[in-house]
Structures are given as structure tokens and as C-alpha cells.
């Protein structure tokens, strides 16, 4: 065995050369430096706990604690330096005391080692300081769970003590070296949480060059074959060395890895200056006039603007694909994922670092955000993953980050609320409740301006008296609050357009007894814009525009007025870019479908009655065809 051990350095060098030569595409970044720590247990295997001697197997588990530093040379190969402390225990059975009585423990019944005052205890401890260099080979490194094989070479310094921390004496076999060479061999599984943190489990078997790890070396010619032999003197026929093994769990943290080179600006394209027939005017350098465009027609902040490809189409040429700067032979687009991983595991484009165009690299989506590299909007909330992760700091895996019942895209684009804060205006009502149930302003804690915040206001839509819970004097707060909240399934803009959804836009005002918009009230433009965005949310949606009035006046006149106003809104939507086939009809219902029950005239003050009636004068959209 000792002769075989002499070839360990040669084997180690050969394995290092083999591993360096055997490289393959991987997520491991060459040049990365990481540190780690591992903790586990260990077991000694020798004369006093051996699989070789019948009756002496009495395993006892110790502890193992180590620190590591790692350098990744190539995708499938790294070097790991390890320093640490291992304590191994072995029990002293009656069988062992009888077998090695003459050579180690002394006569049966003794309390100390022969010719010494060191006590004989039921257990001894082997304390080991270890210093190793490991070569590690990773298999299938593109996956998060990576198996590996490792082979090391190094030194250990050990000392053997009893349960009273007394170092056991040298025995009849003589003195021995306490610092020896050891070759660990084993493997494990490593799990990558991200590009910075990992967890691994590892098992190692340590091939030693000494039989004195337990403080005693056994020689076959010490004994005559009978237990309790009294033969003395040095031996010549030695038994195999002592071994030990460890099983540990470790964590790693990457301190440094090279950043990819910054992309160089491509040279300007060579343009053909020859005149062409029917060539469209060049507007690529002209400023874009946005002063006259409504906000609803502006491109969303998080969506990339379409590129002008008219010149390419005119030339009938296709853009040439080029390798990105910082790419490697195994990572064509330089996004940190190997080509094989992109093609076989993630189904992404190995020539495009951002396959879905959401402003997050494929590597960051897979390893940092856990989003889909093939879906620009993983959670389907109307915001791209890049916009959520970089611009708004919302959760790209949760369509409703703050849990207020509104999608993140709705909050950003329609309501201008904070997608990370369930109650943007801090009025004790969530944004979803304000928008979909009681129709208050989620950005104003006191929507009616009466000095009572919406969450405490029993009449949040009507300016009232703070001493009467926010309701006008003479009005019972409870009655109005119950009638408002129980008057039907009130809704603001639903999360997605579903067939049968009726959405009220009560803030669209008209001049008295006409179908002309009252643009002197800012709510009119704001709510028309909300309706426009709602209908433009997809190409397949089809809606009916409904007009509603309050109950005062002649019912027949109210019916005709509601029809005229519904048609006026229909035409405004078409004039502002809605395809005519999306508007499936325009109907009027007069006062037949009130949003809020109207009290009888004279039962409440006239000003209060007018505020209630204003909520019933509204435009409603009824969804007949849904988004697909």
C-alpha cells in the first residue's frame, strides 16, 4: 500500500493535465474566484474500527470544519484550496483491549497505558489539521445541479488524545511522524442558486501514508495468532495504513469574475446615395413631434420602439448576424449561457443575448430573476420583465406585486399608482378597492376634499361634514355607505377584458342637455383617455358603448340623450385610433340602470342630490369579444 501511495503525486499531475485538456461549454466563468465554508462529519477506519478485523467494527462519528478558496481555470475544471480541522473518534471495545493488550493497552483491567500515567478511557480522539489542493472536474455544468469528481493532495498534522485531552504515549511500535502526506478522493453535487452563491454536498475518502493515525501501528509478526500474545519487539510485516472519510455540506460565494467586454459601436452602414424611384423621404434624423399626441398614443415607457427598416426593405437585404464582443467559441452571443445550454435547455437564441427583447439578458433571466428568457412579460401583467426589474422594481414573477387586486401594468399605465404599495395614497383603502369598488382616487387620500380620508369617510364620493363622518349634515352616513357598497358588482377597469364585463366611466361630463363634451372639467379628458387605453389593450376586443343618465327630467328625452352621448363617445374613440370594428354598437339606456340608487327629491338637500345624480350620468363599456 505504501508503495502504491508513492505514485499519488504522479497520478495527481496526470489528472490535472487530463482535466485541463477536457473542457466543454459551461456556465462556469473562467477566471472566477470564490470562497466557501463546509461543515460535516468524519469517521476513522483502522485497527480499532476496521472492516478487516472481525469484531472490531465500532464506528464513531466526529466533526469536520473547513474553509475553501476556488479558482475556475476552464468551464469544466477548477482548483480548490482547503484548510481545516477534523476530529475523528474511535471507541475502545473489550475485544480491542484483549487483542492489543501486550502491544498497546497493557494487561486487561489496567487503568493506564503501559509504563505511563496517561489514563485509559473508553474513547480516543484524533485531531487533524489539514491542508489540501484539489483538482475538481464538473459534469453537465450547464445545469443548476452539477455533479463533480475531485482528487486532492496535501498534508495533515495529527495528534491522538484520550477523553481527558491527554496525548496518548508512544508504544512498543516506537515513535512516528505526526505530519504526513494524504491523498483525498471523492465527489459531490453542487447547486447554483445564482452566479454568486452555491451549495454543495461532498464525500471524500482519505488515502494515508501512515498506519499511526490512531496512535498505533499494527504488525502481523507482533503476535503468534492468539489473542493476548506477549511477543515483543519491532515488527516487519505491516498492515494497511489507517484511513478516514468525511461527508460535508458547503456553501460558496463568488468574490470576482471577469466582466464581459463592453460592446463596441458598429461602424455606420454604407448608404447607397443613388436616387431611387418612389423612394420615401428620409425622416430618420427628423425630430419626433410629440406635442400634439395624447399620452394614450405614446409608446409605453418599457416597450422598445420599432426600428425603421424601410432602407433594408428597399435594398432587399437581410441584416448580417455577427458574433457579439466578449463571446467565446461556446457562447456566441456572450450572454453567459453556453450555446448548447441555450439550444438544448432554454430554447433561446444562441446568437442573441436577449432572446425575447425585454432588456434583460438570457443569463440574468435564468440565473438572477428566474423569469422566462422566451417571454417578454413572464407574469402577464402588461409590463416587460426588464421594465419591472430595472425601472419599476416590481416583481416580474407576480402580476400583482403589492397584492391590491390591480395588475402592475394597470397601476403604471392606467391609474399612475405604485405597483409596490397596496395603498399608494395611505388612506386606509387599497388601490384596488378604491378603483373597483367605491370609485375614489387612489392617488388622493381625500377624494372629495372634505377633510376626512377616504378610508374613514362614510361618503367618500360626496363632500360632507367631518363631524358627520364625511357625509353632508342631515344625511345618515350608514344608509348612504351601505347603499353605495351594496348596489351591485361595481367595477373599475378589470384586470383582463372578459365577456360580459361592464366598466363604468362616470367622470366623462357633457354640457347640459347635449352630447358635447364638457372639457372645462379635467376629469372628462382623463376618463376618455382611460377608456381609450382600455379598448386598445388588445386587437381582438369588441365592446358596446352604453350611455346612461340620471332620473330627473322626461324619461323619453333622457333615453334619446343617452343614445346621442353613446354615439358621440363612439365617434371620439374612432377619431383617436380605435378600429371601427372594435365598437360593436352604441346604445342608450336613459335612467333604467342607475349606478347609485337615487333618493326622492326633497328627502335630501339639493346639493347632495346633485352629487348622487352625477354618478349615474356615465358612459359604460360592455365587453362582447375578449382578448385572446
Shared domain check, 420 and 382: no
Mean pLDDT on 433-461: 82
Same domain, 99 and 8: yes
Q: Which of 394, 429, 452 is the last residue of a domain?
A: 394
Which of the two residues, 431 and 265, has the higher pLDDT score? 431
pLDDT, residue 479, reads 58
Of 256, 274, 299, which marks where a domain is finished? 256
Q: Total structural domains in the chain?
A: 4
9 within a domain of the structure (yes/no): yes
For the ranges 119-128, 479-488, 534-543, 589-598, which has the lowest average pLDDT? 479-488
Residues 128 and 49 in one domain: yes
612 shares a domain with 533: yes
Q: Sorting pLDDT into bands at 50, 70 and 90, what band is 543?
A: very high
Predicted local confidence at residue 115, as pLDDT? 79
Domain span holding position 251? 2-256
The pLDDT of residue 133: 96
Residue 476: pLDDT band with limits 50, 70, 90: low
300, part of any domain: no
Do 64 and 139 belong together in one domain? yes
Q: Are residues 248 and 209 in the same domain?
A: yes
Domain shared by 154 and 214, yes or no? yes
65: in domain: yes
Alpha-carbon distance 586 to 588, whole Å? Answer: 7
Antiparallel, parallel or unpaired: β 542-548 and 583-588? parallel
Q: Verify that 390 and 472 share a domain, yes or no.
A: no
Indicate whether 466 and 572 sit together in one domain: no
pLDDT beyond 80 at 358: yes
- The predicted pLDDT at position 26 comes to 40
Q: What is the pLDDT of residues 37-53, one digit of tens each?
A: 999 999 998 878 765 55
Average pLDDT score over residue span 73-92? 89
Question: Is 601 contained in some domain?
Answer: yes
Predicted confidence at residue 468, as pLDDT, reads 85
pLDDT at 461: 72
Q: Residue 552 corresponds to which cell in the numbers above?
A: 330627473
Are residues 29 and 171 part of one domain? yes
Q: Chain-wide mean pLDDT for the chain?
A: 77
The pLDDT of residue 274 is above 90: no
> Which one is predicted more confidently, 139 or 602?
139
**Nearest CA-CA partner of 509 in 616, 621, 434:** 616
Residue 108 in domain = yes
> Does 505 share its domain with 447?
no
Q: What pLDDT does 293 receive?
A: 38
In a domain, 508, yes or no: yes
Q: Tell me phi and psi for residue 362, to 5 degrees.
A: -55, -40
Q: Which of 75, 530, 118 lies closest to 294, judged by CA?
A: 530
At 620, which CATH number?
3.30.1330.60
Q: Annotate 520-535 with DSSP letters as a single string.
A: TSHHHHHHHHHHHHHH
Dihedral Cα 362, 368, 369, 373, nearest 10 deg: 10
Within a domain: 247? yes
What is the longest distance spanned by two Cα atoms in the chain?
Answer: 127
More confident residue, 345 or 17: 345
pLDDT of residue 565: 94
Q: Which residues of 189-225 are buried (b: 16+ CB within 10 A; e: fewer)?
A: ebebeebeebebebebebbbbbbbbbbbbbbeebbee
Q: Is the pTM of this model over 0.75?
A: no
176 and 226 together in one domain? yes
Beta strands in 46-91 (DSSP E): 63-74, 77-91
Cell reading at 522: 379635467
Share of the chain above pLDDT 90, in %: 31
- CA distances to 104, 171, 172, 208 from 234, rounded to whole Å, are 13, 11, 7, 22
Highest mean pLDDT among 10-14, 427-431, 561-565: 561-565
Instruction: Provide CB contacts within 8 A for 2, sequence distance 6+.
Output: 209, 241
Q: Is residue 474 domain-resident?
A: yes
Report pLDDT for 228.
Answer: 44
Which DSSP state fits 454? T
Q: Is the pLDDT of residue 571 over 90?
A: yes
pLDDT tens-digit series, residues 362-391: 999 999 999 999 999 999 888 999 999 999
Domain stops at, among 490, 516, 548: 490
Least confident of 39-48, 300-309, 560-569, 593-602: 300-309
Amino acid at each position: 500500500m505504501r508503495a502504491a501511495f508513492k505514485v499519488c503525486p504522479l497520478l495527481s499531475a496526470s489528472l490535472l493535465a487530463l482535466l485541463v485538456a477536457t473542457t466543454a461549454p459551461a456556465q462556469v466563468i473562467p477566471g472566477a474566484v470564490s470562497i466557501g465554508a463546509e461543515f460535516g462529519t468524519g469517521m476513522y477506519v483502522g485497527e480499532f474500527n476496521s472492516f478487516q478485523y472481525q469484531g472490531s467494527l465500532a464506528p464513531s462519528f466526529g466533526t469536520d470544519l473547513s474553509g475553501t478558496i476556488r479558482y475556475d481555470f476552464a468551464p469544466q475544471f477548477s482548483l480548490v484550496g482547503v484548510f481545516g480541522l477534523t476530529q475523528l473518534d474511535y471507541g475502545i471495545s473489550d475485544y480491542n483491549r484483549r487483542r492489543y493488550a501486550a502491544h498497546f493497552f497493557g494487561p486487561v483491567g489496567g487503568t493506564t497505558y503501559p509504563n505511563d500515567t496517561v489514563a485509559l478511557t473508553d474513547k480516543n480522539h484524533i485531531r487533524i489539521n489539514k491542508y489540501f489542493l484539489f483538482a475538481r472536474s464538473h459534469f453537465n455544468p450547464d445545469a443548476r445541479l452539477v455533479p463533480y469528481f475531485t482528487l486532492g493532495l496535501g498534508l495533515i498534522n495529527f495528534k491522538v488524545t484520550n477523553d481527558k485531552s491527554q496525548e496518548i504515549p508512544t508504544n512498543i511500535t516506537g515513535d512516528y511522524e505526526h505530519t504526513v502526506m494524504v491523498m483525498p478522493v471523492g465527489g459531490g453535487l453542487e447547486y447554483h442558486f445564482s452566479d454568486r452563491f452555491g451549495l454543495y454536498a461532498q464525500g471524500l475518502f482519505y488515502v494515508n501514508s501512515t498506519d499511526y493515525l490512531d496512535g498505533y501501528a499494527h504488525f502481523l509478526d507482533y503476535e503468534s495468532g492468539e489473542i493476548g500474545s506477549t511477543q515483543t519487539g519491532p515488527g516487519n510485516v505491516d498492515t494497511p495504513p489507517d484511513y478516514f472519510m468525511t461527508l460535508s455540506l458547503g456553501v460558496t460565494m463568488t468574490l470576482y469574475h471577469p466582466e464581459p467586454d463592453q460592446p463596441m459601436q458598429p461602424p455606420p452602414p454604407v448608404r447607397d446615395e443613388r436616387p431611387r424611384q418612389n423612394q420615401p423621404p428620409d425622416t430618420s434624423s427628423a425630430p419626433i413631434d410629440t406635442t400634439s399626441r395624447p399620452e394614450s398614443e405614446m409608446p409605453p415607457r418599457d416597450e422598445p420602439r420599432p426600428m425603421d427598416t424601410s432602407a433594408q426593405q428597399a435594398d432587399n437585404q437581410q441584416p448580417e448576424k455577427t458574433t457579439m464582443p466578449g463571446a467565446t467559441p461556446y457562447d456566441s452571443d456572450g450572454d453567459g449561457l453556453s450555446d448548447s445550454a441555450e439550444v438544448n435547455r432554454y430554447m433561446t437564441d444562441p446568437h442573441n443575448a436577449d432572446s425575447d427583447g425585454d432588456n434583460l439578458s438570457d443569463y440574468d433571466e435564468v440565473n438572477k430573476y428566474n423569469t422566462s428568457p422566451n417571454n417578454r412579460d413572464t407574469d402577464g401583467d402588461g409590463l416587460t420583465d426588464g421594465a419591472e426589474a430595472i425601472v419599476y422594481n416590481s416583481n416580474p414573477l407576480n402580476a400583482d406585486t403589492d397584492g391590491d387586486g390591480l395588475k402592475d401594468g394597470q397601476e403604471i399605465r392606467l391609474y399612475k399608482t405604485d405597483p409596490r404599495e397596496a395603498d399608494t395614497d395611505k388612506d386606509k383603502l387599497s388601490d384596488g378597492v378604491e378603483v373597483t369598488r367605491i370609485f375614489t382616487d387612489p392617488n388622493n387620500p381625500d377624494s372629495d376634499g372634505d377633510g376626512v380620508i377616504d378610508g374613514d369617510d362614510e361618503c367618500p364620493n360626496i363632500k360632507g361634514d367631518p363631524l358627520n363622518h364625511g357625509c353632508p349634515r342631515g344625511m345618515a352616513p350608514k344608509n348612504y355607505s351601505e347603499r353605495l357598497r351594496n348596489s351591485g358588482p361595481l367595477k373599475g377597469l378589470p384586470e383582463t377584458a372578459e365577456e360580459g364585463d361592464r366598466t363604468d366611466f362616470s367622470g366623462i361630463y357633457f354640457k347640459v342637455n347635449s352630447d358635447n363634451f364638457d372639457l372645462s372639467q379635467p376629469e372628462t379628458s382623463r376618463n376618455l383617455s382611460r377608456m381609450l387605453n382600455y379598448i386598445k389593450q388588445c386587437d381582438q376586443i369588441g365592446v358596446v358603448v352604453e350611455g346612461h343618465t340620471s332620473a330627473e327630467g322626461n324619461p323619453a328625452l333622457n333615453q334619446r340623450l343617452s343614445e346621442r352621448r353613446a354615439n358621440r363617445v363612439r365617434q371620439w374613440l374612432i377619431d383617436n385610433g380605435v378600429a371601427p370594428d372594435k365598437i360593436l354598437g352604441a346604445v342608450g339606456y336613459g335612467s333604467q340602470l342607475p349606478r347609485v340608487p337615487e333618493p326622492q327629491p326633497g328627502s335630501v338637500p339639493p346639493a347632495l342630490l346633485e352629487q348622487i345624480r352625477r354618478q349615474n350620468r356615465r358612459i359604460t363599456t360592455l365587453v362582447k369579444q375578449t382578448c385572446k
